[in-house]
Amino acid sequence: MNNLFKLVSILFVLSLLALPLTGCMESGMVLSLKVDTPKDGTTVTTATVTVSGSVGGKENKEAKVTINNADVPVNDGKFSANITLTEGKNVIDIVAKGGGAAPKETVTITYKK
C-alpha cells in the first residue's frame, strides 16, 4: 500500500509539472495559418470564390496575410477575400507573415462554367 501511495504521488506531481505544457498548441506557435474555405480539390461553377481563414499563435496580432501576392486585411485573427477564377484549375497561395514565421497553404480548385 505504501508503494502504491508513492507511485500515485509521483504521477500526480509529474502531471502538475506537465500541465503548463498541455496548453493550446496554436498559442505556443509563433504564427499559424488555417484556411477554412475553399477546400483543396473543390470544383465550383462560379467565377468568384471566397478565400477565408484565420491566423493564430503569439504573433497573430501583427500578422500580414497575402492571397496570390495581394494583401488581405486581418481583423481579430480572421481574413477573407474574394478571388476571381479562370476556367480550369486555379492555384491559390495563402501566406501569413509575422514574427519571422511565414506559414503557407496552397489550395487548388477547378472552375467549370
Provide the pLDDT for residue 60.
Answer: 76
Domains parsed from the chain with CATH numbers? 25-111 (2.60.40.10)
- Reported as a single tens digit per residue, the pLDDT across 31-52 is 999 999 999 999 999 999 999 9
The cell numbers describing 10, all together, are 509521483
Provide the pLDDT for residue 113.
Answer: 87
Candidates 100, 91, 49, 47; CA nearest to 69 is: 91
14-32 core/surface letters (b: 16 or more CB in 10 A; e: else): eeeeeeeeeeeeeeebebb
Provide the pLDDT for residue 100.
Answer: 86
Provide the pLDDT for residue 47.
Answer: 97
Q: How far apart are CA 65 and CA 19, in angstroms?
A: 33
pTM metric for this prediction: 0.72
- Which residues of the chain are under the pLDDT cut of 70? 1, 4-9, 11-29
